[in-house]
């Protein structure tokens, strides 16, 4: 008997569950998939600066890829229509978009995301002053960077742990003097620190006030008093990384550049944390999928004792396990993104449970993705370890996804908190 064989799990239209993805989402997945195959896959190594880690080549390649995304309308997709955007607002759509782009290169997906991040607080509260001035720039024809700056030299996890710390550990201070905010402090690790249009900065007016002291202030580039370190050297995302310190020395911005009055802004930070965690999961699944495909393709034509390696049962079982874990990680983040978008059914998007779900799917997907990359490398032998096989770049680019957004352990503590009342500090 012939069994029907209509499913191809590489196919962008078939790999996302229609329980969560709309027809439009699937069309987007297909379009981004094709874009990645055509524009990114042939140039992935150039994104690393090639064998010689040539930063100029990396930046040029990155710019050219991102410019094509701008020309196709993707950069403006998530901004309001009145400023020239397309007003796409589904978290499921964004997560699928992220997975597909990240299959090509997680750093491209990351830089794309930070551009949206820069104005996210302003969009959350519809800060017209900020949006009127800056959103049209992001909706224009040029590649734009934005930056959301939370992490500080004294620690990222405690700042990003809004639920327990309530902003009490933020050390960057903002003071309202007349019609201006005056900011003093330092951020460490946000990116891109160079040439962002806007630096959306998490500050406190008084750490003792907790949540009520948190303010998100949008600082335009070239504001006097704003300066930067050199970018830090990183394990992955080598030549394109622009993460480092931002220094605020009596930085003054208009009163209206604060996204809303003090009070309640902790909730927005938390909302960003939740959505960024499940987006991070999607960003990890893309490279995992890519490594699975690279390994299975290579092992089709690689023979051990007269038989393709992938047809040996020991190897086929490992490939099966890789595919199983990818499907679980994908279903997980899609499920969480869908729940986030439907608070009327699943509760507030910043509830303890939603924080727990988003943290769990991030940790799960990142662990799975790193495991899959290592499996792919092992299955492919020395070729897997070579630059030309592409697996090693994915393996270097992945671990930071597990670390950012409050750290690996911080995320697990958030998962536990969703199960039972638990004070960790
Ligand atoms: C490439 C890159 C991009 C980044 N992008 C951004 C960005 O755009 N914006 C931004 O603001 N930051 C960004 N970061 C910073 C990142 O989010 C932080 O580094 C991360 O949150 C961890 O903070 P930390 O490094 O200070 O670790 P620490 O806070 O010093 O944590 C150290 C350890 O403590 C663990 N831990 C956490 N909570 C607990 C707890 N309750 N009990 C016990 N242990 C705990 C952590 O898991 C970790 O192992 C980026 C970093 C990199 C490298």
Q: Are 178 and 253 in contact (CB under 8 A)?
A: no
Record the pTM.
0.96
pLDDT 10s digits, 66-118: 999 999 999 999 999 999 999 999 999 999 999 999 999 999 999 988 888 89
**Is residue 113 lining ligand 1, measured as CB closer than 6 Å?**
no
In 264-398, DSSP assigns E strands to 303-304, 307-308
Pocket test for ligand 1, best of 147, 156, 172, 234 (most atoms within 8 A of CB): 156
**Is residue 156 lining ligand 1, measured as CB closer than 6 Å?**
yes
Q: Are 294 and 376 in contact (CB under 8 A)?
A: yes
Sequential DSSP letters for 30-59: HHHHHHIIIIIGGGHHHHTTTTTT-HHHHH
pLDDT at 240: 79
Q: Are 145 and 118 in contact (CB under 8 A)?
A: yes
**Is residue 31 lining ligand 1, measured as CB closer than 6 Å?**
no
**Is residue 115 lining ligand 1, measured as CB closer than 6 Å?**
no
Q: Would you say residue 6 has pLDDT above 70? A: no
Least confident of 21-30, 51-60, 152-161, 284-293: 152-161
Whose tokens are 């700042």? That residue is 159
Is the N-terminal amide bond of 41 cis, ω within 30° of 0? no
CA atoms of 189 and 242, how far apart (whole Å) = 9
Q: Which residues pair with 217 in a beta bridge?
A: 201, 258
**Is residue 409 lining ligand 1, measured as CB closer than 6 Å?**
yes
CA atoms of 136 and 85, how far apart (whole Å) = 8
**Is residue 403 lining ligand 1, measured as CB closer than 6 Å?**
yes
**Is residue 407 lining ligand 1, measured as CB closer than 6 Å?**
yes
Ligand 1 midpoint to CA 191 (Å)? 13
Q: Are 211 and 167 in contact (CB under 8 A)?
A: yes
pLDDT 10s digits, 31-64: 999 999 999 999 999 999 888 889 899 999 999 9
**Is residue 94 lining ligand 1, measured as CB closer than 6 Å?**
no
**Is residue 191 lining ligand 1, measured as CB closer than 6 Å?**
yes
| Nearest Cα to Cα of residue 209 among 261, 151, 276 | 261
pLDDT 10s digits, 341-363: 999 999 999 898 999 999 999 99
CA atoms of 19 and 334, how far apart (whole Å) = 9
- What is the Cα 119 distance to its own chain's centre? 15
Q: Are 194 and 62 in contact (CB under 8 A)?
A: no
Pocket test for ligand 1, best of 102, 203, 367, 410 (most atoms within 8 A of CB): 410
pLDDT 10s digits, 315-340: 999 999 999 999 999 999 999 999 99
228: pLDDT confidence band, cut at 50, 70 and 90? very high
Ligand 1 midpoint to CA 405 (Å)? 6
Instruction: Walk me through the domains of the chain, giving residue ranges and CATH numbers.
Output: 23-138 (1.10.540.10), 145-262 (2.40.110.10), 266-419 (1.20.140.10)
Name every residue whose Cβ is closer than 8 Å to that of residue 190 and which is 6 or more positions away in sequence. 147, 148, 149, 150, 151, 199, 243, 246
CA distances (Å), origin 271, targets 2, 266, 306: 50, 9, 55
């Amino acid at each position: 008997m012939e069994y029907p064989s209509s499913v191809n799990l590489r196919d962008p239209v078939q790999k996302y569950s229609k329980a969560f993805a709309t027809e439009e989402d699937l069309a987007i997945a297909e379009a981004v998939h094709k874009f990645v195959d055509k524009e990114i896959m042939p140039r992935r190594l150039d994104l690393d600066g090639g064998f010689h880690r040539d930063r100029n080549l990396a930046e040029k390649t990155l710019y050219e890829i991102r410019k094509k995304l701008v020309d196709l309308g993707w950069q403006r997709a998530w901004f309001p229509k009145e400023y020239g955007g397309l007003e796409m607002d589904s978290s499921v759509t964004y997560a699928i978009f992220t997975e597909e782009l990240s299959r090509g290169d997680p750093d491209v997906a990351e830089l794309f995301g930070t551009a949206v991040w820069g104005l996210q607080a302003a969009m959350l509260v519809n800060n017209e002053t900020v949006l009127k001035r800056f959103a049209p720039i992001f909706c224009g024809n040029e590649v734009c960077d934005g930056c959301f700056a939370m992490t500080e030299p004294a620690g990222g996890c405690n700042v990003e742990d809004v639920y327990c710390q309530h902003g009490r550990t933020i050390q960057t201070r903002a003071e309202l003097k007349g019609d201006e905010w005056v900011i003093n402090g330092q951020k460490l690790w946000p990116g891109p620190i160079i040439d962002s249009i806007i630096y959306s900065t998490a500050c406190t007016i008084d750490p003792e006030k907790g949540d009520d002291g948190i303010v998100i202030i949008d600082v335009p580039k070239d504001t006097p008093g704003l300066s930067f370190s050199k970018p830090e050297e990183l394990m992955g995302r080598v030549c394109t990384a622009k993460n480092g310190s931002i220094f605020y020395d009596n930085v003054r911005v208009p009163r209206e550049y604060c996204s809303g009055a003090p009070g309640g802004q902790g909730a927005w930070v938390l909302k960003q944390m939740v959505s960024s965690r499940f987006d991070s999961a999607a960003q990890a699944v893309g490279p995992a999928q890519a490594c699975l495909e690279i390994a299975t393709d290579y092992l089709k034509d690689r023979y051990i004792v007269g038989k393709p390696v992938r047809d040996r049962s020991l190897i086929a079982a490992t490939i099966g396990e890789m595919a199983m874990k990818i499907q679980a990680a994908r279903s997980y983040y899609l499920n969480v993104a869908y729940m986030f978008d439907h608070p009327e059914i699943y509760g507030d998007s910043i509830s303890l449970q939603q924080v727990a779900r988003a943290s769990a799917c991030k940790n799960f997907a990142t662990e799975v993705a790193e495991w899959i990359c290592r499996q792919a490398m092992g299955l492919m032998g020395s070729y897997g370890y070579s630059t030309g096989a592409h697996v090693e770049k994915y393996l270097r680019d992945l671990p930071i996804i597990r670390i950012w957004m409050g750290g690996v352990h911080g995320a697990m503590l958030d998962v536990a908190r969703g199960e039972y009342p638990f004070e960790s500090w």
